[in-house]
Amino acid sequence: MTRTLTIISLLPHLLNTNGDAENARVLAQRARWSGHDASVVTVTNRADLPDVVDAIVIGSGSDAALTEARDVLLTMVDKLREWTTAGVPLLAVGTGWELLSWGIELTDGKVIEGLGLVAGRAVPRLTRATDDLVVTSKHGRLVGFENHARDYVGAEASPLGRVAYGAGNGNGGEGLVMGDVVGTHLHGPVLARNPRLADHLLTAALRRAGVDYAPGERTISVDAVAEAARDRVAAGLSLPSA
């Protein structure tokens, strides 16, 4: 690869309450371990957007920041739509994912209009989901924790995986996949705990640059730690081995 892989972290000052913006750093480090230059660009407004983007990360924030974050994202929605349509991988976690949807329904009846980049909407749960979340997916067993007051409806045909433990979307599925856009309730950060999902996103990013992705040797020990952590969570929940 002759240029630096550019990964943007959108609005981490508003959408990083669970450290989810650090998923951008995970992607960048795994890219470097595979022999490719990579940088993380922090984006707080439209003027910060680089000309070339290879991957996008959006974290999760508090409900108090929803409207402000939505308004800033609206100023760049045309670029986000252009990039995702072109196959740029995007990972959105928690409220960052909800903001990309049709809209967010709050418990007081207020509706915050989303960007409409992905199908579905967020609706209030009877009780807040705050626990471990374990998901069966094509990327193997995904493990993290969830902390959300809303279910996700309207995108049942394209979940990231099926819930083995926890609430997820509230209908047996967890997350959303539309092309190379991935939405999830998994915190952790999710890519540090589930490197196969990180490598899936990196494969998509590098494919667009005409480069094949192969994990570097440094990932062997790191991935072993992540696997042990996932196994420990599963054992604590009395789930069978993956």
Which DSSP helix (H) or strand (E) runs through 27?
A: helix 23-33
Q: Which two tokens stand for residue 60?
A: 């999760």
The Cα 224–Cα 52 span in angstroms is 33
Residues of the chain with pLDDT under 50: none
pLDDT score, position 1: 59
pLDDT score, position 152: 98
pTM recorded for the entire structure = 0.97
Rg (CA), the chain: 17
Provide CB contacts within 8 A for 206, sequence distance 6+. 1, 5, 31, 36, 54, 212, 213
Q: Are the C-beta atoms of residues 17 and 49 closer than 8 Å to each other?
A: no
Count CA atoms closer than 13 A to 28's CA, side-chain side: 18
Cβ atoms within 10 A of the Cβ of 82, count? 12
The Cα 9–Cα 16 span in angstroms is 10
Cβ atoms within 10 A of the Cβ of 192, count? 20
Q: Which tens digit of pLDDT belongs to each residue from 11-66?
A: 999 999 889 999 999 999 999 999 999 999 999 999 999 999 999 999 999 999 99
pLDDT score, position 156: 79
At 155, the amino acid letter reads A
Q: Identify the structural domains of the chain with CATH numbers, from first to last.
A: 5-236 (3.40.50.880)
Q: Are the C-beta atoms of residues 92 and 12 closer than 8 Å to each other?
A: no
The Cα 222–Cα 235 span in angstroms is 20
Cβ atoms within 10 A of the Cβ of 51, count? 5
Sign of the C-alpha dihedral, residues 186, 241, 173, 24?
positive
Residue among 165, 206, 222 nearest 26 (CA): 222
Q: Are the C-beta atoms of residues 163 and 133 closer than 8 Å to each other?
A: yes
